[in-house]
Amino acid sequence: MIDELLQGNEKFLADEFRPNAEYYHAIADRQTPKVLWIGCSDSRVSEHQMTGSKPGTMFVHRNVANIVAFNDVNISAILEYGVVHLKVEDIIVCGHTRCGGIAAIEDGVHENYIADWLCIATGAKEAADRIARERNLSREEKLAVLTEENVKLQIKHLRNLALIRNMHAKGERPRIHGWLYRVETGTIDVLVDGRATRTA
């Protein structure tokens, strides 16, 4: 696999980097992304590939189940660097279908660190449990609801962080968006008023 990755770099150089050398030399000097992406670490979910964007477009943070944690120095530093220094105008929290982290939130998990991390999404699980009871949902339907509820919860966490809260007290930026990527179709749904709406 390692050899394949290095061969892939040779193909990238020939097909993408060298034909667009001026662009890559420009971003080598300075990055000016307009978007901060908070997504899942899942290997099937590539923010640049799914959006057809080039390197330099997005400042990226990924973790299991696209969680915004209050006690995570990593995401706090990324947020501060992104909105204060890079001055990103938009933040996207993107969940995705068939997420192992979401399934683990639903089913429970016994590994210590994973369980501790996923408990940050407890509020989403409680909301999905309630909705599933009210609508008599199947497991697959419930996981879809849980995926959306988790994005909504992480946006709530994001808005409650002092850095973002203080910036919003002065204006609307950074704008915050909730997205859902469907790994089975390659499409992106935008969450509008808590519901997925196909726009991409």
Using an 8 Å Cβ cutoff, are 61 and 152 in contact? no
Neighbouring residues of 27: CB distance < 8 A, sequence distance ≥ 6: 55, 56
Which run of H or of E encompasses 94? strand 90-96
* Residue 85: active-site member: no
10 and 90 assigned to the same domain: no
What is residue 16's predicted lDDT score, i.e. its pLDDT? 94
Residue of 3, 25, 30, 40 marked catalytic: 40
**pLDDT tens digits along 126-146:** 999 999 999 999 999 999 999
CATH classification of the domain holding 109: 3.40.1050.10
Residue of 18, 25, 44, 165 marked catalytic: 44
22 and 76 assigned to the same domain: no
Confidence of residue 110 (pLDDT cuts 50, 70, 90): confident
Strand order in the sheet with 90-96: 58-63, 35-40, 90-96, 175-182, 187-192, 195-198
26 and 100 assigned to the same domain: no
Residue 186 CB neighbours (<10 A): 10
What is residue 126's predicted lDDT score, i.e. its pLDDT? 96
Distance CA 191, CA 199 (A): 10
* Residue 44: active-site member: yes
Extract the tokens encoding 135: 């609508």
Say how far residue 150 (Cα) sits from the centre of its chain.
11
2 and 65 assigned to the same domain: no
Residue of 61, 94, 96, 182 marked catalytic: 96
101 and 153 assigned to the same domain: yes
What is residue 68's predicted lDDT score, i.e. its pLDDT? 97
What is residue 200's predicted lDDT score, i.e. its pLDDT? 46
Mean per-residue pLDDT over the chain, rounded: 93
Confidence of residue 193 (pLDDT cuts 50, 70, 90): low
Residue of 42, 61, 157, 182 marked catalytic: 42
Mean pLDDT for the stretch of residues 100-123: 92
This prediction's pTM: 0.91
153 and 191 assigned to the same domain: yes
Helices first, then strands: H and E counts in the chain = 9, 6
20 and 40 assigned to the same domain: no
Distance CA 115, CA 158 (A): 21
Backbone angles phi, psi at 158, to 5 degrees: -60, -45
75 and 139 assigned to the same domain: yes
Number of domains in the chain: 2
Confidence of residue 195 (pLDDT cuts 50, 70, 90): low
* Residue 40: active-site member: yes
5 and 59 assigned to the same domain: no
**pLDDT tens digits along 169-180:** 999 899 999 999
Residue of 94, 99, 157, 182 marked catalytic: 99
72 and 125 assigned to the same domain: yes
Parent domain of 140: 33-198
Extract the tokens encoding 60: 């990226």
128 and 144 assigned to the same domain: yes
What is residue 32's predicted lDDT score, i.e. its pLDDT? 94
54 and 23 assigned to the same domain: no
* Residue 119: active-site member: no
